[in-house]
Amino acid sequence: MEKRQIILIPGPTAVPSRVLRAMGAPAINHRGPEFRELIVEVTAGLKQVYQTANDVLILTASGTGGMEAAVANFLSPGDKALVVSIGSFGDRFVKICRAFGVEAEILAYEWGQAANPQDVADRLAADTAHKIKAVLVQQNETSTGVLNDIQAIAAARGDHPALLIVDAISGLVAAELLTDAWGLDVVISGSQKAFMIPPGLAMVSVSPRAWEAAEKCTNSRYYFDLKEAKKFLEKGETPFTPAVSVLFGLRESLRMLADEGLAAAQERHALYRDMVRSGVRALDLELLADDAAASPAVTAVKVPAGLTPKDITGPLRERFGIVIAGGQGKLSDKIFRIGHLGYVQPTDILATFAALEMILAERGLPVQSGQAVAAAEEVLAGGI
């Protein structure tokens, strides 16, 4: 029999049936009044989620398109950027900078660690000539399951004029992020993460300071020209044909999030995080990230000695229909990752641990049936 999958990867995430139904709506003219209404509602909803009065632009692209737009619109060839890298997505920012002629100075941390805001403060304080034009950082590093302290990193700029560009693609909605209160200049998100809709959209907020930088930016861009996107948004359109169906889905998911409340959505993600970490500990497996920096969106677990990530992810998918992720980059054969962002039910997590217990016990690990499920249940019982 075909298995109904439980998909617990850090994007794309499961999609609620309300969103799926909304996405099945008939086509509309993307230069007509129905689209104008759609983009006006969605943009207002995004501003709520972003906690911002800044412009929020919607691009038809995966999240990386939003990252590319953030480099190509605000940094010029020859500019220097301080890229804070705590994992694979930090390294992606470095590659994008280099592709656009931007000199990336890397502030790197061991994978599994969060960035130390004091290091950013020290580096910027030493840059008295203000050569660094922007600081680029992930809110949530998906490859390691580590949440950076964006509020502290923002404060670490002090009086330095560098823009702060935040990849919040897997962090937004799952963790608190206050674009305006924290002074974040550019914040990137993506549809297929905690927004619980399919891939296809990248969202980018732009502060007035960032728009000033855009005026002076000499980098090449065409499809991802954010000034064009802003001009078109003013008349309720996008420069090019947008992914209209995904936007229908986004409208529905934003309505769902408004009903739930942003704080409640974040508490829900924190509960999933705690359930997962507790279950992992009960299995006597090692977590990659410390509690203090633990991501509410994804948890990375070290693979026990003698096993590979595939020994776990393979049987989970084939025998139980549960899809989790392996590692990325240099951690690809060292960890597996349980995504717990977006449309996740607590019972998805309990089912995952029940299956994990069986798989690990069959592999000869000293796992008692029910021990991880009980630990996760205990957290759940305390949290609802």
Ligand X SMILES: *Cc1c(COP(=O)(O)O)cnc(C)c1O
Q: Which is nearer to ligand X, 115 or 169 (CB)?
A: 169
| Binding flag, residue 198, ligand X (CB under 6 A) | no
- What is the C-alpha separation between 311 and 306, in angstroms, rounded? 10
Is 63 an interacting residue with respect to ligand X (CB under 6 A)? yes
Nearest-approach distance from CB 60 to ligand X, in angstroms: 12
- Tell me which residues in 97-156 interact with ligand X (CB under 6 A): 138, 140, 142
Helices (H), 3-109: 17-23, 33-50, 63-74, 88-99
Nearest residue to 88 (alpha-carbon basis) of 201, 191, 162, 167: 167
Give yes or no for a contact between 97 and 75, defined as CB atoms under 8 angstroms apart: yes
Q: Which of 6, 11, 312, 367 touches ligand X by CB under 6 A? A: 11
If one asks whether residue 54 binds ligand X (CB under 6 A), the answer comes out as no
CA nearest to 59, candidates 194, 215, 189: 189
Cβ-in-10-Å burial (0-12, 13-18, 19+) of 163 comes to: buried
* 98, 114 contact by CB (below 8 A): no
Contacts of 323 (CB under 8 A, 6+ apart): 5, 6, 7, 8, 9, 313, 316, 317
Select from 20-28, 103-111, 163-171, 280-288 the region that touches ligand X (CB under 6 A): 163-171
Q: Which part of the chain contacts ligand X (CB under 6 A), choosing from 26-34, 35-43, 56-64, 204-212?
A: 56-64
> In the complex, what is the shortest distance from the CB of residue 54 to ligand X, in angstroms, rounded to a whole number?
20
The interface mask with ligand X, positions 324-353, x = CB under 6 A, is ------------------------------
Position closest to ligand X via CB? 63
Contact positions with ligand X (CB under 6 A) in 220-239: none
- Does 89 bind ligand X (CB under 6 A)? Our answer is yes
If binding is defined by CB under 6 A, does position 85 make contact with ligand X?
A: no
User: Around Cβ 261, how many Cβ atoms within 10 Å?
Assistant: 10
CB of 271 to ligand X, least distance (A): 21
Distance CA 192, CA 171 (A): 12
Per CB under 6 A, 62 contacts ligand X: yes
- Distance CA(186)–CA(205), nearest Å, equals 5
Question: Which residues of this protein are in contact with ligand X, per CB under 6 A?
Answer: 10-11, 62-64, 89, 138, 140, 142, 167, 169-170, 190
